[in-house]
Chains A and B, each alone.
Chain A
Amino acid sequence: MNLDAKRLLDEGHLHRNYALVTFLILVISIISSLLGAMGNVVFQVITSISVVFALVFLFGQLILVIMYVDKETEIGWILHRMAYAVLFLLMLSALLMSLTTYLFAFYVLGEYSLQANALMPSITLTIALSFGMCLSSVSYYSIQLQDIWKFSFAS
């Protein structure tokens, strides 16, 4: 095995593992947030920790995709667009959650504010994290394909 092929394999492994870990943390955060809604403090603590890690890992995943994927290839082009869509969704959900926090605190929807207060962040965060899951899983599989990821030595 020549040196370049070995480095390609090593870096490929690293990126695949990163995508896998990101995917798993995102899954944990979504599932635990659903279980946390039942009031179990343990699941709520797991959600709190996993959401923070999920956001950090997801940003890392976005940077990896945007920096290292060759957008001239067909799948690379899709991955690039997907990464920007996830970034946009993350920013949109953060903005919506910030705005709705105060809107519902002021009870703008009357009696429905209590439900909306719980529902709105669930919806926005779950959508953003789900798209993150899609991105990390597509990244994971695309690394097996040739000429999509431009690793450091190749670029």
Chain B
Amino acid sequence: MEIIADGKRVLRFMILFLCYLWLGILSVVTILYLFLESSTLGWLIAMFYPSIAPMLFILVVGCGFIIIRFSFLSKKREIFLVSIVCTFIFIGMILPYAAIPLGISDAESQMQEVYGELYDNLDTTGMKQVPYSLYDDLYGLSIDGTTYSVQYDIPYLDNGDDTLYFDWYCPVGEGPFPVIITIHGGAWVIGNKGFSNIPLFNHYFASKGYAIFDIQYGLFDPDTLPEDQSTALSSFANLGFDISPNYNRSYTMEAQIENVGEFTKVLELNRSKYKADIDHVFVAGRSAGGHLASLVTLGYKNPLYEGNFSTGMKIEGGIWYYPVTNVTRGSSGLFDALVKGDLPIEDQYTKLFAANLITNSSVVPPIMILHGSKDGLADYETQGLSFYEYALSLGDKCILVTIPWAGHGFDYDFNGFGGQISTYYVERFMALELLED
């Protein structure tokens, strides 16, 4: 009997320890998420936490209840303290969801303003019906896997050192289909096509009749930098957890955009093979991929990029998820090695960042920027909002969908609120642009 009683005590102690630990961890996570989103841990948490926070809160309530029940059932002050901690975590969890209507209403008014009646009368049959649905959050967006096929690892460029590949998502049918080129993120130093580039996005839009090309590009190797300059990029590269391909060469931004340009040429040459309608091309990218997508969008007809891209394709729109748009040469020269090319370094900055490039681009296709307001990596104010305002001041067509309280990479949970709201508006943006054409 004594052994059983001891066993019970040990079990009770362990359960209580786990409950305290969980409440402690979630409290720290909430503090980092709410107040310290610019720290490395802060933006990593803002990337994943908001979309799963409601589920994790069920654990918080359970743990809070167990602690009160087994530790301080008769101690009012302690009960009050545990309740305060749970309430604090609850506030951190509920904020993004409470702000969803604000984000949607802002996006709606922009869509109305840009497209007017065309937006009201758009045939949305087969599209996502509401910007956010808890049902889709729980059970996942419906994707009909029978309406498309996927071919992986198709080579498109062999430069003697490395071979670059792409994945092709092709809808069933004769085609040609409107094209989406998707470019992965990873601070130009890590990342890959495929599983690290939101594959559900590719599957979803392939099922809606778009030919998706998920492409690789060469990565910059921070180990090639002098030790005093490599710290920031190396620490980011170490977050890669071996998800990146092992390239033999280091690729600057200039080389990376050449890789993407090479792909557009291959696509033009093989348009019938890949059932690609190159008169209707959308370029989508995330983070550093969003930056490269911005260069394709603004640069494909720009003399600065002469010979870089296919001359036959027409970009219908740029879809930039939390992109880097505005970097100027700082005193540290952190980006110099990444940015360097044939032009003097100041001109390279002008050529390689959208906020400068848009100024001297005569052809600016419609742009949709999707940015989380708690983005601690590609800052919302300086990289998303300021570019949007600048594009509007130049008279260009630009829509900024703000995902409230969402961090960098908000759509990694494709079914979460960030993934859903962005998918809803991207789907309509592309349909409207195809309709207008």
Contact = CB atoms under 8 A, between A and B. Distances in A.
Given A87-B65, A94-B59, A102-B413, 17 more contacts: A36-B139, A51-B134, A66-B69, A91-B58, A91-B62, A91-B63, A94-B55, A98-B52, A101-B413, A101-B416, A105-B414, A105-B415, A106-B412, A107-B199, A107-B200, A114-B145, A117-B415
A31 B226 CA distance: 62
Interface string B375-416: 000000000000000000000000000000000000011111
Nearest to A90: B58
Interface stretch (B190-198, B326-334, B354-362, B365-373): B190-198
A135 to B, nearest CB: 14
Interface in B29-87: 48, 51-52, 55-56, 58-59, 61-63, 65-66, 69
A52 B142 CA distance: 21
Interface residues of A, number: 38
A45 interface: yes
B5 interface: no
Contacts of A91: 58-59, 62-63
Please classify how large the interface on chain B is, using the bins under 10, 10 to 19, 20 to 34, 35 or more. 35 or more
Interface stretch (A3-11, A16-24, A55-63, A140-148): A55-63
A114 B143 contact: yes
B344 to A, nearest CB: 41
Contact of B139 (A87, A106, A122): A122
Contacts of B110: none
Contacts of A55: 58
Contacts of A121: 138-140
A118 B62 contact: no
B412 A102 contact: yes
Interface in A30-88: 33, 36-37, 39, 41, 44-45, 47-48, 51-52, 55, 59, 62-63, 66, 87
Nearest to B243: A106
